[in-house]
Amino acid sequence: MRSILSIAMIALTAVAGVSAHGYMSRPFCRGCEKAAMQVDDLKSPNFRGICRGEPAGKVTNVSGGSLTLGFTITAPHVGNCKVFLLDKNLGNAIQIGERMDCAAPGKVADWSLNLPSSASGSKVVRWTWDACHVSPCEKYEQCADINIIGGGSGGGGNNGGNDNDDGEAPAKPTKSKTPTRPTKTKGSSRPTKTSAPKDDASTGPTSAPAPAPGGSCTHGAFTCSGSRIGICNFGQWSWISCSGSTKCTNQGSNYYCA
Ligand SMILES: *[C@@H]1O[C@H](CO)[C@@H](O)[C@H](O)[C@H]1NC(C)=O
């Protein structure tokens, strides 16, 4: 057996790749405050029911009828992803998006969704991922508490044009049509436009501060440093090591090992 010290180190560095593969990190998810000290709890398959059994958490204001999800995926895998909008009490779920391979190798990217024009006020967005590198697929999910401002009045899908993922076709709201995969993902080569990654369309820290080990950072921010993903926990960076020879990769507000 390992020493207590090395077990503690493993807990601290949050082994990537065993059965802890990733999570929806934006909007700030239910349980996201565990990202720095107990990240495996977020990244593991879900066995605790809807929203992983996490209690309601930090609320993110969302305006203008669209919502952008971001992900932190340390072990990408093929498989289908869905997004639902639920009432605050987790009832009345409606599906607002579906995409194959939202967390697959080379395809992790921000995911912009149109919100139903009738939706407003306190809602819960629920993301699910069937990671099908094994059979049966592993089930992952996260929820985030959002407050939809300006909805309920037939607002369109304009999110104010202040984010930088215009190259990315928003997933069409999937009423009942077959979800068409947006054409954007091929190659996912969006070179160096990423200097100021924007997170979701409304609130939250604007960009990840430069990595400054030991320095200050904005709680909840992410950064890359070689083969490590940094997560800012109350002003201090903590680091998750990528598995094998993979390196931390950043696209928009997504951080993953590849
Ligand atoms: C979110 O919107 C509400 C109004 O609905 C406002 O009172 C609150 O300050 C906003 N929060 C943030 C973080 O902007």
pLDDT digits (tens, 9 = 90+) for 62-92: 997 899 999 999 889 999 999 999 999 999 9
Q: Does the beta carbon of 147 sit less than 6 angstroms from any atom of ligand 1?
A: yes
Burial class (CB in 10 A: 0-12, 13-18, 19+), 178: exposed
Please count the helices (runs of H) and the strands (runs of E) in the chain.
2, 13
The fraction of the chain above a pLDDT of 90, given in percent, is: 40
Using CA atoms, how far residue 195 sits from 51, 87, 190, in Å, is 32, 36, 12
pLDDT for the residue numbered 69: 96
Burial 198-221 (b: 16+ CB within 10 A, else e): bbbbbbbbeebbebeeeeebebbb
User: Quick one: which of 168, 163, 170 has its CA closest to 201?
Assistant: 163
Q: Report DSSP state, residue 203.
A: S
**Which residue ranges does the chain devote to CATH 2.70.50.50?**
19-149
Protein residue with least CA distance to atom 3, ligand 1: 61
As a whole number, the mean pLDDT across the chain is 74
Q: Does the beta carbon of 149 sit less than 6 angstroms from any atom of ligand 1?
A: yes
Best of 28, 147, 199 for a ligand 1 pocket test (most atoms within 8 Å of beta carbon): 147
Burial class (CB in 10 A: 0-12, 13-18, 19+), 92: exposed
Q: Does the beta carbon of 243 sit less than 6 angstroms from any atom of ligand 1?
A: no
Cα–Cα–Cα angle for 108, 251, 169, rounded to 5 degrees: 65
The residue behind tokens 């999937």 is 174
**Dist CA 122 CA 212 (whole Å):** 36
Topology of domain 19-149 in CATH is: Coagulation Factor XIII; Chain A, domain 1 (2.70.50)
**Dist CA 179 CA 212 (whole Å):** 42
**Dist CA 31 CA 27 (whole Å):** 12
**210: which 2 tokens?**
């430069």
Q: What pTM does this model have? A: 0.59
pLDDT for the residue numbered 140: 94
Q: Residue 175: pLDDT above 60? A: no
Protein residue with least CA distance to atom 2, ligand 1: 61
